[in-house]
Structures are given as C-alpha cells and as structure tokens.
C-alpha cells in the first residue's frame, strides 16, 4: 500500500526532493487502479506537495 505523506513530513524535504517525489507519484498514479486507497493516497500526497511548494513560493514574494 502506498502511504500518504503529510504536509508536515513534506515540509522537511528540499524542493529537489519534493520534485523527485512528485515524479515518482505521477508514475505510480498512471499505474494505479481507480477508486483504490493507493490512488487516493497518491492524489492526496500530490495535493500536499502542491500546497507546500505554493507556500514556499508565497514566502519568497515580498509584501507591499
């Protein structure tokens, strides 16, 4: 079974590690069966990766 990575776990990874994990998860997603726990965990982890990446990008933008 493919596990869900939480945002807290993902925050400890570098941007390069996040992108590597994203690539692996997209490959696994293509092989997963619809409506399975594995697929739900992959999709949720990809959402969490997006959230962490977007949060990091927002932190770098100077406020007005």
What pLDDT digit, counting tens, does each position of 5-42 carry?
A: 999 999 999 999 999 999 999 999 999 999 999 999 99
- The pTM of this model reads 0.89
Asked whether residue 45 is domain-assigned, the answer is yes
Residue 55 resides in a domain = yes
Judge whether 10 and 54 are in contact, CB under 8 Å.
no
* Cα distance between residue 37 and residue 51, in whole Å: 21
Q: Could you list the residue range(s) of the whole structural domain that residue 54 is in?
A: 7-60
The number of distinct structural domains making up the chain is: 1
In-domain check, residue 39: yes
Residue 17 inside a domain? The answer is yes
- Predicted confidence (pLDDT) at residue 46 exceeds the cutoff of 70: yes
């Amino acid at each position: 079974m493919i596990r869900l990575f939480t945002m807290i776990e993902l925050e400890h990874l570098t941007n390069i590690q996040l992108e590597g994990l994203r690539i692996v998860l997209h490959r696994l997603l293509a092989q997963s069966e619809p409506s399975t726990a594995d697929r739900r965990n992959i999709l949720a982890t990809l959402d969490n990766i997006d959230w962490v990446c977007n949060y990091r990008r927002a932190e770098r933008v100077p406020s007005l």
